[in-house]
Structure 1
Amino acid sequence: MSTAPIVTPPSSSSTCSLLTWKDPVLTGKVFGSIIVSLIVLKYINLINLFFRGAYVGLLLSAAAEYAGKLVTGQGFVTKYKPAAKSYAKQFNDVIIPQLAELNLKIEEEFQKIIYSHDIETTLKAAGLSYILYKLTSWFTLFTLIAASVVILFTVPVIYQTNKKEIDAAVANFTKLAKNKTAEYTSLAHKAAAPHIETIVKSTGPVGKFVKSKFPTRTAGSTVGDSKPTFGTAADELPSATTTGSSKFPDVPSASLGDHKSTVEEFVDHAPEHAQNAQSEFTHF
């Protein structure tokens, strides 16, 4: 039993070697074939040519088969046709499983982007979509594909040749961009501060309340070390609370034990006071 040959997909290393022109002959053939195909697709209507050749070939096949049956009793096409080889089985056994696995991975990644499983990835996809929207509104699809092919076969080899210089330039540009971003952010804060203060004053107590909820930065404070402290209405009240002209009475300084001893002393001397009062009444 003959088995179909196993076709292994090109690895990332072979693709990198192809794009970096490690084998100039092979890369030149691939690059030239892609460019020629794009030019042919641009200026030649292949679909029209395909259907034209299809109807001419089918008419000739039917005529040859009919003439052979009419003359010899067996059609020429049936008699002289080459041995047919099935490519569908090889395609189903080798290509279809890989396409099915790739389709599942594409669907999984697509759902992660659509349903924001990773917000950063979704934002990157949104940015890429916006860039493609702008590019497709400025250039045709053929121009974009041709430019992408040229960039794909030129940028990697240029980067590999001038790797140190390009990395240094990118690092300097990134540092400059961060500094400029911090500078513009500081200027924006300084420019917006008077307007925010005006809004706070115009809104009255509401603005003051909202402002009190934001931490106040000092000269020695840092973002990671300082923690905002929020006051409450009870903390802002004075220690002695007054209402109008009246004042709440102070709490007596004597303790409950002193009052208890006074009551017990009164109970102990109650009989003596009663006898003195009775003698005075009898004498009267």
Structure 2
Amino acid sequence: MAESTSSGDVSYPVVNGNSPVASHIKSEASRTGDELRDLKYSRTTPSTRAATGQPLTHYHSLLYSLLSWERPRATAVSYATVVSFIIAARFFPLLRWFFKFLYVALGFTAALEIAGKTVMSQGLASSFRPRKYYTIPKDSIEGVLEDMEQLLDFFLIEFQRILFAENIVHTVAAFFAAFTSYWLIKILPLWGLSLIAVTIAYMGPLVYINNREEIDAQIAHIQSLINAQANEVKDLAGQHTARAKVLVKQYVDEYSNKAHELVGTRRSASPEMAKVPSPQIKAEPSSPEPAVKQEDFPEAPKAEPVSESVQEPQEPKPEPVLAS
């Protein structure tokens, strides 16, 4: 039964355990818990594969289930959790609180132990010591490590699929996201940018699901425009390529004809060039010849020369002059 309490002129319903509102809240809470439990323990690997044929991780199906709002309650709870964590990390000193809790707990334990040994000769903190210290089971460690491996593989595979344009729409969206983040990080703090990114990641698919037909029509129209422009550019490129080929062929033919004419002219001029005496080129002596040669001197006679008497010419005597 629902009772009502009045405060002035306004009455408020009081919800007890048997009211329809309480039962509705309980049913919603139970459904939310079931969805979260199913989402937590779902390890289904998607049937689709990457372009290289590699199988995807179960985090692909998990993220798709969250962002596609297949389980709206679980998606809403995850979104509220992430937003709460971002706001808490911004406005609350969580790290300081952690260290404060740590030193208070350790100080309380040390004081309790010292007081017990002083008063009762027995430590109080050590009396609560378990017989065996708690450890992490090996199966749990292997499960956590496997989940970490799957999570790292998820991010690595998705980054490569976006980088190598497996889906051009995702690549273009990632480009705009990175470009916008590059400019927004200059005017927004990191927590504000993270809050905007999480909100777009969760609310973007919801907007698309509610307006699927209109958005698909706009995307198809944009793709048709892009294809038309691409075909036009391709045709223009083909025309320019064909024109360039014709010009290149024309220039090659022209230069080859000129080369043939030049070669023929040289061949026809070669007989006439043979009649022209070629200039004699004097070879320079390798070593200078001596100025006086042996041949310039006569050979000496072998027989001794015979001496001949040489008669000196006599001068004529003057004739005597007769006196008259």
TM-score (norm 2): 0.48
Q: Is structure 2 residue 55 aligned with structure 1 residue 34?
A: no
Matches within 5 A, 1:1-284: 11=58, 12-81=60-129, 84-87=133-136, 89=138, 91-100=140-149, 132-179=181-228, 214-216=244-246, 231=252, 233-237=255-259, 241-242=264-265
Find the residue that maps to 2:113 and give its secondary structure.
helix
Distance 2:145 2:193 in 1: 30
Aligned-residue sequence identity (percent) comes to: 24
Distance 1:170 1:104 in 2: 30
Higher relative contact order (CA 8 A, sep 6+): 1
Distance 1:41 1:68 in 2: 39
- Large movers: runs of 4+ above 6 Å: 104-110, 118-121, 181-187, 227-230
Change (3 A) 1:9 1:66: farther
Q: Which position in structure 1 is the counterpart of 2:308? A: none
The Cα shift of 1:176 comes to 2.6
TM-score (norm 1): 0.54
Q: Which runs of 5+ in 1 are unaligned?
A: 1-6, 188-192, 194-212, 218-226, 250-284
1:235-278 Cα distance to aligned partner (Å, 9 max, x none) = 444669336xx7678xxxxxxxxxxxxxxxxxxxxxxxxxxxxx
Distance 1:154 1:132 in 2: 18
1:125-159 Cα distance to aligned partner (Å, 9 max, x none) = 99576664334334322122111111121111222
Q: Which position in structure 1 is the counterpart of 2:13? A: none
Q: Which structure: greater helix fraction? A: 1
Find the residue that maps to 1:86 and give its secondary structure.
coil
Change (3 A) 1:131 1:235: farther
Change (3 A) 1:16 1:99: closer
Distance 1:176 1:62 in 2: 74
Is residue 109–residue 125 contact of structure 2 (8 Å, CA) maintained in 1? yes
The Cα shift of 1:61 comes to 0.8
Q: Which position in structure 2 is the counterpart of 1:198? A: none
Change (3 A) 1:154 1:62: same
Is residue 181–residue 193 contact of structure 2 (8 Å, CA) maintained in 1? no
How many correspondences in the alignment? Answer: 206
